[in-house]
Amino acid sequence: MDSEKQLIKVNKEIERKFLLKNDSWREGAEGITCRQGYLSTVKERTIRVRTIDEKGFLTIKGVSVGASRAEYEYEIPGKDAYEILTNLCEKPLIEKKRYKISYKGLIWEIDEFFGDNKGLIMAEVELTDEKQSLELPSWVGEEVTGKPEYFNSNLIKYPYSKW
């Protein structure tokens, strides 16, 4: 047994982010309200708490390498999430409305930010492989994958309103 190596499964998120060039995505889009805060924002790991409507989630993410990083997400009681956001998370919180739009077999998530990040709207799409072929919708603009200023965890320190 000592000579055998144990394999540990790592959940991986492969995500690309983009700015939007127009509002044509809004037609028929319905959004949900999200509030999120961070318990840790160091480069090597971020620990986030999020509420989506009445549900709570705890998410732990590793360092980004290209468009990939380790990610673990767990549902937690909504009341606990609310209390953690209020009492323990760094401020300001991230407030946004998230819209999901299906395009060419992929689900695009569009985040419209409020509060200190009002005016910022980004689209992200999760892929199964970094080399996966991707056809962009007409409303997608500049790619910002890997640009730290667009990481949600950095938007609490350097809000969009202060750029």
CA distance 89 to 49: 8
Catalytic annotation, pick one of 38, 82, 99, 160: 38
CA distance 159 to 155: 5
CA distance 118 to 126: 24
> If 0-12 CB within 10 Å is exposed, 13-18 middle and 19+ buried, where does residue 145 land?
middle
Active site residue 74: no
Catalytic residues: 38
